[in-house]
Amino acid sequence: MSGPSSGCGFLMSVVVHGDLALSEQEKELNQRLRSLYPAVSDQETPLPRSWSPKDKFSYIGLSQNNLRVHYKGHGKTPKDAASVRATHSIPAACGVYYFEVKIISKGRDGYVKYMGIGLSAQGVNMNRLPGWDKHSYGYHGDDGHSFCSSGTGQPYGPTFTTGDVIGCCVNLINNTCFYTKNGHSLGIAFTDLPPNLYPTVGLQTPGEVVDANFGQHPFVFDIEDYMREWRTKIQAQIDCFPIGEREGEWQAMIQKMVASYLVHHSYCATAEAFAKSTDQAVHEELASIKNRQKIQKLVLSGRMGEAIETTQQLYPSLLERNSDLLFMLKVRQFIEMVNGTDSEVRCLGGRSPKSQDSYPGSPRLFNSPVHKASSSQTYQTSTYYIHKFFFSASIGKKNILQKSGLLHQKKTFLVPKSTCFLAAEVEMEVDHFSNGVSESSSNGFLNGSSTHGIDLEELDSAQSKRQLCGGSQAAIERMIQFGRELQSMSEHLRRERGKNSANKKMLKDAFSLLAYSDPWNSPVGYQLDSIQREPVCSTLNSAILETHNLPKQPPLALAVGQAAQCLSLMARTGSGSCAFASVDDYLH
Amino acid sequence: YAYDFVLSFVTMQEVTATSRHYVDRLFDPDPQNVLQGVIDMKNAVIGNNRQKANLIVLGAVPRLLYLLQQSSSSLELRTECAVVLGSLAMGTENNIKSLVDCHIIPALLQGLLCSDLIFIEACLRCLRTVFISPVTPVQLLYTDPTVIPHLMSLLSLSQHTQEYITQIFAHCCKTPEHQTVLFNHGAIQNIAPLLISPSYKVRMQALKCFSVLAYENAQVSMTLVNVLVDGEQLSQVFVRMMQRDKPIEMQLTAAKCLTYMCRAGAIRTDDNCIVLKTLPCLVRMCSKERLLEERVEGAETLAYLMEPDIELQRIASVTDHLVSMLADYFKYPSSVSAITDIKRLDHDLKHAHELRQAAFKLYASLGSNDEDIRKKITETENMMDRIVSGLSESSIKVRLAAVRCLHSLSRSVQQLRTSFHDHAVWKPLMKLLQNAPDEVLVMASSTLCNLLLEFSPSKEPILESGVIELLCSLTQSDSPALRVNGIWALMNMAFQADQKVKVEIVQALGTEQLFRLLSDPDTNVLMKTLGLLRNLLSTRPDMSSHGKQIMQAVTLILEGEHSIEVKEQTLCILANIADGNTAKELIMTNDDMLQKIKYYMGHSNVKLQLAATFCISNLIWNEEDGSQERQDKLREMGFVDILHKLTQASDPNLCDRAKKAMQQYLA
């Protein structure tokens, strides 16, 4: 999705969605892998999705998206054995990993030896069947034996042949492996497995063909049921974890954590009551807590202008010393203006939607992940506000669109008349837009480029009830003006303190809201969600607390963060139980 | 304990005194004092078995029951009485016996007619505790026919009534009659919705109800498959209850329900919910991780599930190393537990027999059809030794299961020739046959039949061990199964046996017994007896001793109302007789018999025609003395014409046989 760099950076983010035309199968695969292995980070440790065309012996042929394996050697002696590994090793964070292989053909008759299905480490000789060498494990179809890093097998299960589906399950919690045949578990085959094994198959007979299923299709064996058992086991282990003789301390510690959390988030009344009933001292003056509470309330209800003002009054030097924080608050203010909730636009007559008026819930323990818009969705987009912004921001060069990279990327920009909501101004602005585009396109519209395979939805879909800046023209003007101020503040900051990519992205994302006729339902619309006030609020709160020499994070959040960090450390060091101990499960 | 006893002796008087005080207060004229007395009594007995016993001895129960039943008593008092009685029932089995002797059950059942929920719940809680005790006769639930429908109607009142009532049903449904009573009063419709109750206890007890209702009951099972719970099929509800994160008790009971429904014919054995869910679930129940009780139940249920189905047997035999997993059932009490932990040893000892018999049962079921599985079983560590020692264990259950296992494996020609002989299994088997209950005898003698097959190397040593007497005595048993097995074993023994053995058999059995068996009401017995006769009379029999009687018997059967198979067998005997020198005369001089043979040559059943023709062909065989006279006589009687006609028969065997006979005349 990254295009050529452009002179007008913030437009880049407009071009977010519909990046790849994923096949149905891939979609299903992604979905299944996500639901089977939610703890796996695909960036850090990608899951096996197919056989590797690079990590195989020459007698192996691959087809059908590298899922089908066939043998093309002579198959006369064991020296003709050939294996292939999957693209990636099995991440420990799977907890329980499973794949299946269907025997499409056991190969020509008269060849006694045939396939092995199993696991091997990186670097194990591929001119062999899985199981024959060190760090290699296999279950062989001809005799039903299991081979555990040895040339001689042990009786293990039944033989298998054409039409059978053989599954291989790796338990990364106790480092064992069992196989399945046609959906029936055959029992433990290997114990004490090393980490980082790759799914592997080996063939040895001309005509042998097998298909792998790494999650492309539903599995024959009910692996979810097996995972349920282990999830229950791990959770029981956690629940029954002995606290030991420090039980009294334990309770006091928890009470302390809760109290500090309440104070941190300025729930003064609750904090007071709690401290009283648990015999604790509060380490901050009540007035100070109340001040912070006031500011937080403003931020959480979207009244950023007032929040900034109040902060400046109560903590005069805070924002002066911390220009990045101020910038962040201002960007949020801009977003709230678009939202129609900021005090500055509200007083201009903008009617803010009630649901946005006040903050609905209490702050979360820690920042919830940003919900990224799915890239395959289609949006009605309008460059209307971008335009207005461009031209009135006096950058007004005619080739601005090319420069911005919009046209280079041939992305979809539709400005259908029917979707524009400020009826009075629309005609003019659309014309304006058309003018801008006409240099590169014969009509005023650029239709979706087929290379990106975006389906264009019907354009008369339901209009959002929410209106930009609460629907007031004056408020929009104010917002635009504020945006310009923000832009210059950003430039000023850059000159003074050098580039700051976080700030740059923040501004870019915020401005991108204007690229859509319905910003709330756009790929960048998540910014308008009131949940996004939480990180702003907690950053500001932490900054205030820091000036008072108080911890900028409550111990409770710290503990939660530590637990999450521990889990990812476990994933990296190969402890599979992290898969079934998500911190989220314990935060109700 | 001794110390405890002394202490109790010292304090006994004191305790009795306070106990008496509690009882006395039940007779106070002021109802308020009575109520307070009952409440104090309640607090005093909780968790105190001695106090409970004392109060019972001092006669508190009849008084409490009286107060409970009196309509003049306040509802509060009546409820407290039910609570105290429930508490007393929680004590020892002796307590329960005393309560039942005081007619607590009808009194509490009567109480259920009251409209107050709290009181009803207290009564039900007490009833539940009484009924789930092994000392309470379950029949007491069914004496009054209005009780079951009333209990059904109380199911809707509260989660407590649901829990107690379903628990009562689950414990008191022990016979097909009980199943029918409950079924007829709408148990299925009333209990099915409880399977998705928010209370785990209710769900669990409801599930247990279905397992006892469906057991060997086709009517219930057939109804169950069509029941919907919240739009979902019952079998699917059971499948969900078998998910691996559910409590083991629930998984196991749900698997039982599906097993019983399957065995009753309501679910096919190839249904996914059996093959992919129930069977693997039961195999998991056999694993080392499970409690000993669960492993016993799991193995027994699995054995029952797959008994009639070879495909399930094959799948189970490769699932999770079941065959070797079962070997572990024989390792209790383990040597470790003996030293380290007395409690554990006690526990292991208690379950050791149960584990062994369950494993034998499961092996028997696994190996009942498939030769490869039998091989796998016999190759399991020390398997044959275990069976051999199982045959002589003190527990009848283990002996029976061991012999069932042996019987299952004895269907394998391969095993009879190898492992059975190597381990001399016939020895303990013979011992078992000397003195055992009928159940064991049936299995043991049936196994013996297989061991006496001609290719079995055990046949010789068994013969030498004086088995004939024993088998003959079996033929005199009242049990048809034992008679069949006895005569069957003799039949196998006589097959191609030495003349010496045959004589021994005839002498031991005696003609009288032989004739008794020929008129046995059980066709199976008759068939095997004829089989025995046929084997005895093959190879040119000498009929000098019993010729007349045998001819009589043959006539009798040919004249009687018998199946084709019986008559065919009889004609074959006749053909064998016709093959012996002296015996030929017995037939030739018996015109009646010859007429019968003639009749069967013209019978509509080819088998009988063939057997009769065989008979004639033996009589007219050329190379033997007096063949000319016999040929002449038979020609006179019109046999040649019949034979001639039969040469045109459509059945090639018959046609061939007739032609060969005709050649005797032409030669």
Q: Which residues of A touch B325 (CB under 8 A)?
A: 187
Q: What does the pLDDT average to over B288-315?
A: 96
Kindly provide the ipTM of the predicted complex, given to two decimals.
0.80
* Residue A383: Cβ within 10 Å count: 26
What is the pLDDT, as a whole number, of residue B126? Answer: 96
- For residue A103, what are the CA distances in angstroms to A58, A157, A397, B276, B576? 20, 16, 64, 20, 58
pLDDT at A426 over 60: no
Closest residue of chain A to B248, computed from CA coordinates: A229
- Cβ–Cβ below 8 Å for B318 and A184: yes
What pTM was computed for the model?
0.74
Place of tokens 């064996």: A221
Q: Which one of B243, B244, B248, B286 would you mutate to disrupt binding with A, by most A Cβ within 10 Å of its Cβ?
A: B244
Q: What is the mean pLDDT of chain B?
A: 87
What is the pLDDT, as a whole number, of residue A216? Answer: 93
State which residues form the domain around B29.
1-136
At B46, which CATH number? 1.25.10.10
CA angle A191, A192, A195 (to 5 degrees): 120
- Backbone angles phi and psi of B533, in degrees to 5: -60, -45
Residues of A with CB under 8 A from a CB of B: 157-158, 181, 183-188, 222, 225-226, 228-229, 231-232
What is the pLDDT, as a whole number, of residue A362? Answer: 44
- For residue A109, what are the CA distances in angstroms to A61, A68, A165, A208? 20, 21, 20, 10
What is the pLDDT, as a whole number, of residue B428? Answer: 86
The 10s digit of each residue's pLDDT in B154-190 is: 999 999 999 999 999 999 999 999 999 999 999 999 9
Closest residue of chain B to A230, computed from CA coordinates: B245
Closest CA to B150 of B130, B118, B171, B120: B120
- Cβ–Cβ below 8 Å for B245 and A184: no
Do the strands A82-86 and A51-56 form a parallel or antiparallel pair, or are they unpaired? antiparallel
Burial of B327: CB neighbours in 10 Å, binned 0-12, 13-18, 19+: middle
What is the pLDDT, as a whole number, of residue B539? Answer: 64
| Residue B407 is assigned to a structural domain of this protein | no
Residue predicted with more confidence, B666 or B557: B557
Q: What does the pLDDT average to over A70-99?
A: 93
pLDDT at A391 over 70: no
CA atoms within 13 A on the CB side of A209: 10
Q: What is the mean pLDDT of chain A?
A: 77
CB A298 within 8 A of CB A310: yes
Which region holds residue B22: left if phi is over 0, alpha if psi is between -120 and 50, else beta? alpha
Q: Which residues of A touch B243 (CB under 8 A)?
A: 225, 228
List, in sequence order, the alpha helices (H) in B367-466.
Answer: 371-378, 383-391, 396-409, 413-417, 419-422, 426-434, 438-451, 459-464
Q: Which residues of A touch B321 (CB under 8 A)?
A: 186-188
CB A138 within 8 A of CB A129: yes
pLDDT band (50, 70, 90) for residue A121: very high
Long-range Cβ contacts of B486-489 (<8 Å, 24+ apart): B486/B445, B487/B517, B487/B525, B487/B528, B487/B529, B487/B532, B488/B449, B488/B528, B488/B531, B489/B445, B489/B448, B489/B449, B489/B452
pLDDT at B332 over 60: yes
Distance CA B64, CA B70 (A): 10
- Cβ–Cβ below 8 Å for A229 and B244: yes
**The token pair that represents B170 in the structure block:** 């689950």
| Residue B417 is assigned to a structural domain of this protein | no
Percent of chain A predicted with pLDDT > 90: 37
The 10s digit of each residue's pLDDT in B333-392 is: 776 655 567 777 777 888 899 999 999 999 999 999 999 999 999 888 888 889 988 988
What's the gap between Cα A175 and its chain centre?
A: 28
- B634 in A contact zone (CB under 8 Å): no
Instruction: Identify the domain boundary among B117, B136, B155.
Output: B136
- Backbone angles phi and psi of A213, in degrees to 5: -130, 100
Residue predicted with more confidence, B497 or B245: B245
- Where do the domains of chain A lie? 22-221, 252-348+470-579
> How many structural domains is chain B composed of?
2
- Burial letters for B403-417: b for 16+ Cβ neighbours within 10 Å, e otherwise? bbbbbbbbebeebbe
What is the pLDDT, as a whole number, of residue B205? Answer: 97
Q: Which one of B319, B324, B372, B381 would you mutate to disrupt binding with A, by most A Cβ within 10 Å of its Cβ?
A: B319
- Burial letters for A459-498: b for 16+ Cβ neighbours within 10 Å, e otherwise? eeeeeeebbbbbbbeebbebbbebbeebbebbeebeeeee
Q: Which CATH architecture best describes the domain A22-221?
A: Sandwich (2.60)
What is the pLDDT, as a whole number, of residue B326? Answer: 93
Distance CA B286, CA B104 (A): 41
Residues 202-261 of B with CB under 8 A from A: 243-245
What is the pLDDT, as a whole number, of residue B545? Answer: 60
Instruction: Identify the domain boundary among B70, B104, B136.
Output: B136
Percent of chain B predicted with pLDDT > 90: 48
- B276 in A contact zone (CB under 8 Å): yes
- Of the candidates A181, A188, A226, the beta carbon closest to that of B244 is on A226
| Residue B649 is assigned to a structural domain of this protein | yes
> Best-predicted range by mean pLDDT among A130-139, A341-350, A522-531, A552-561?
A130-139
Q: Which residues of A touch B276 (CB under 8 A)?
A: 183-184, 222
Distance CA A571, CA B408 (A): 51
Closest residue of chain A to B241, computed from CA coordinates: A225
pLDDT at A460 over 60: no
pLDDT at A439 over 80: no
Instruction: Identify the domain boundary among B136, B165, B199.
Output: B136
